Structure 1
């Protein structure tokens, strides 16, 4: 019975060598991802800015998102989650109030 357990040691060692505790590069310091997944951390500095088309496109690019939607008060929105979409919530004066992914 002890021999059976020893046979598993190389497999366990190989699996342990493959694991990593470090976060992927795309999740570190708000760096944009290359796979289209949104990361809103790096664009939070845009809060309080006027939501011009240039700002919206720049935010989409910096967040690494494939899609962006600007949400004004009273807009009807779907509640589906999309990891590739950046959401920019604005107020009546088109000032950015919140930036999230989904």
Structure 2
């Protein structure tokens, strides 16, 4: 059994409420780039720590510049993850 339209609307509302902000991610990227704060904010602590360590071999500086283009897709992936989690919870709850 699938989800009703109301369930889907509630999930999308939760995704919108729980989603990270692209603007906030860019502000963190711009002002706190050396701490990889944008990656921590977007729920990627492993790659954030790796990026911090890579500054010592100069690769991290290029990586930070590339992140400027990757931030929107990272936010979208975070939204998709929240959507999947909420849909799974709704399906398991409605099936119980």
TM-score band w.r.t. shorter chain: 0.3 to 0.5
Higher normalized helix content (fraction of residues): 2
Using the size of structure 2 for normalisation, the TM-score is 0.35
Using the size of structure 1 for normalisation, the TM-score is 0.33
Higher normalized strand content (fraction of residues): 1
In terms of Rg, which structure is larger? 1
| Greater length-normalized contact order (CA 8 Å, ≥ 6 residues apart) | 2
